[in-house]
Amino acid sequence: MEQAFRHKISIAPMIDITYEHFRVFFRLLTKNCVLYTEMIHENAINLSRVLKPFPLVLDYSQVEHPVVCQLGGNDPEKLAKAAQIAELAGFDEINLNVGCPSERVQDGAFGACLMKEPYLVAKCMKTMKEAVKIPCTVKCRLGVDNLDTYEFVRNFIEIVNKEGQVNHFIMHARKAFLKGLNPHENRTVPPLKYDWVYELKKEFPQINFTLNGGIKCTEHIDQVMPNVDGVMIGRTAHENPWIFSDFDRRYYGGENQNYNRKEILILYAEFVEEKRATGCKVSTQMCVKPIINLFNGEMNNKKYRQFLSNTDNHKLGFRGMINQVIEHMQEWNQEALLVRPNDYKF
């Protein structure tokens, strides 16, 4: 029951988006939505030579909890070892990627390729679950290539649940093409089939199902939520992050963080400066990326984005650049800068 509630809303793992800076920024918007790392390959953890005391790829901040470490790989023992290290590092859960269709994962025979091998996935999951005490979950598709019938995905869920002891599946509600489509097209071209996920929940009521794919607004979430245990949101979290500042109240029945956008920018700049003081070498461009859409849909959002994207302004230092953009927003759109989520008309 606790796990289902915790995963009511989660933010999808996304390469080059859900790195530590994004996750810390997101915690200024919501303290309850579950966050995920980018996919981390088993070897990136197990073979890391940089331990402080854990591999650099597992860097995270304490404010990020609840946060899930998503692993990629296909070797049960290596995945179990990586899961143990992630557990020791303090992550709340482990998730196995069985949905990514990129060429890189195909070359390594993991990600969406694993949908063709449910018994191997089950073995990977069982081995990880025996190695750690934290929950282990699977993120997968509805099918792959010509293996795209409801019976196929139903069989996959049944095997991984029974043999792998997996009780929570995050379902990207479309199939994957391993050939012919790039990763972006694989997120948009195959049709969404929410009804299949709803049917899986009816057939396996004892399993928690989180639905992922195509969710862009609260109205959409409200339509989907009665049929599943949780909703996972991907690109919208990067493209329109401000809407999440009301999610603690709207979906968790608690109080919002209720920071206005000026406070968010100041607090985020403090985090960036603190990280840099420890030797963090994340570029200014990557530090800007999480906040670039903070004023999406607001008047003079374009000016805000242009200022932060101008590399000449990066020379001001991150805090200096943020202080200046705040001054500009006081002139460009003071209302959007200072309004709090509790007073905003979403």
CA–CA gap between residue 74 and residue 78 (Å, rounded): 8
CA–CA gap between residue 183 and residue 106 (Å, rounded): 12
Contact indicator for 48, 85 with CB cutoff of 8 Å: no
Is 136 among the catalytic positions?
A: no
Tell me which of 100, 124, 136, 140 is the catalytic residue.
100
Sign, CA dihedral 91-96-99-101, equals positive
Helix (H, G, I), strand (E, B) or coil at 287: helix
The contacts of residue 38 (CB under 8 Å, 6+ apart) are 13, 14, 15, 16, 17, 18, 19, 70
Contact indicator for 83, 132 with CB cutoff of 8 Å: yes
Q: How many CB atoms lie within 10 A of CB 284?
A: 18
Place of tokens 């990586």: 82
Backbone angles phi, psi at 102, to 5 degrees: -65, 160
CA–CA gap between residue 65 and residue 152 (Å, rounded): 35
CA–CA gap between residue 225 and residue 292 (Å, rounded): 29
E strands, the chain, in order: 9-11, 35-36, 40-41, 67-72, 93-98, 136-140, 168-172, 208-212, 230-233
User: Distance of alpha carbon 64 from its chain centroid, rounded?
Assistant: 12
| Distance (Å) of CA 207 to CA 158, 163, 193, 298 | 10, 14, 19, 41
Contact indicator for 106, 182 with CB cutoff of 8 Å: no
Catalytic residues: 100
